[in-house]
Structure 1
């Protein structure tokens, strides 16, 4: 229900169904860029960064009314699966994070979920591009 409210309020801005073509993709790209900028600005404040990324995640999941379930599924599974894989790599000694993040930073699963939604939305847009053949 919450995502439907977000969808209704942000649907005009980010596109809904048959609205202005490409607006939803522009909204998704904008939110993805805001996510990366948030990491650059707030990485020293992990709780604040997690809150910002959670807000951006909710907006991205709620864009439009179609496929909310798919976007939520992608966000959860990619966030969890990526974090488990990274945790195992950290424990194996592949790399490490700063002192305040002994393991996977609290905000990283949120960013992985945002990346999954971005990739899903981008792939939908890429399928609409004309096919180019090289001779």
Structure 2
């Protein structure tokens, strides 16, 4: 589980304690990351599902979905603001755990990553391998 801030880290600990069938690793950043303002963003409890909509675009459907994990969530949020200034609606999805997300029902996964939105970008500081399953053939990965 790769949390984005201290609040997600607390939720990651909770997820680890609840997950008793296999080992769980918490992958924490070395950088000092600011705590995200949860009064304007979604609750970190969404981490329990592996991925959740942290910040949504204005309007019914986003133009692009930015998927990030760990410290890159902060980059995705900054990009969302820049895109909004250009009239592009971006949804930011925090995805700290592929495994927890894959365990969710199909309707939940579709609500977070709707197949109708093919413009997707995953932001990953490390290895980009594997993100193609979430960005699809028309998306991209920065890493």
TM-score normalised by L of structure 1 = 0.30
TM-score normalised by L of structure 2 = 0.29
Greater RCO, 1 or 2 (C-alpha within 8 Å, sep 6+): 1
